[in-house]
Chains A and B, each alone.
Chain A
Amino acid sequence: GAGVSQSPSNKVTEKGKDVELRCDPISGHTALYWYRQRLGQGLEFLIYFQGNSAPDKSGLPSDRFSAERTGESVSTLTIQRTQQEDSAVYLCASSPQLGGGYFGPGTRLTVL
């Protein structure tokens, strides 16, 4: 596709359930980022993938959060045993190695 896509666009889940969020980056973009954005707030870095290098996981808030990316394609962000504090918009972005990053529309996660 022409841009970064994310699915689902909205996800409502019950506390304690696991969720999986998907990001399809722009083809050819080597870098992929996940951010979390709580309502009315800034962007909170979660994880960064660059090509085949080891991902930078320094922003993951707890071991309930994990992410995978196969090569330079799709990435999934998994949140296990969701908590109400996990409610936020999860944004994915991709970029070429030396270029601007392009964001997807985000997945709005609501944990009841």
Chain B
Amino acid sequence: GESVGLHLPTLSVQEGDNSIINCAYSNSASDYFIWYKQESGKGPQFIIDIRSNMDKRQGQRVTVLLNKTVKHLSLQIAATQPGDSAVYFCAEIPTSGTYKYIFGTGTRLKVLA
């Protein structure tokens, strides 16, 4: 459902390791998904998207996996760097009807030196 101001879970990862951030989405009608990165004091920044006709999409150092059966989305970051420290949000969008974005609660990623 909608993100309604919950405190954010935190994932701590050693620099150079891979990070996996998970998101459970709520609407079976959602067929478009986006991962956003939000650094302190800034608005969320688009990272990567995926449509429901795919189960995997790769970008530069990032991979998004989609499991429609269990309504689960994950973001994998390879060789995590200090600059990856941020809050990561997933968004689900049904592309029929209202196209309204529904955001997950977010995960704070801390990269340890």
Q: Chain A interface (Cβ within 8 Å of chain B)?
A: 4, 31, 33, 35, 38, 40-45, 48, 50, 53, 56, 59, 91, 93, 95, 97-98, 100-106
Contacts and interface: CB of A to CB of B under 8 A. Distances in A.
B44 A59 contact: no
Contact of A101 (B42, B98, B101): B101
Contact of B2 (A31, A44, A98, A106): A44
A100 B106 contact: no
A58 to B, nearest CB: 9
Contact of B3 (A33, A44, A48, A101): A44
6 contacts: A41-B6, A42-B106, A53-B98, A93-B101, A100-B49, A104-B43
Nearest to B32: A98
B85 interface: no
Contacts of A101: 34, 46, 91, 101
A43 B44 contact: yes
Given A42-B106, A43-B106, A106 B43 contact: yes
B2 A41 contact: no
Interface string B3-20: 111111000000000000
Contacts of A4: 43
Interface string B77-113: 0000000000001010001001111111110000000
Nearest to B103: A43
Contacts of A93: 43-44, 101
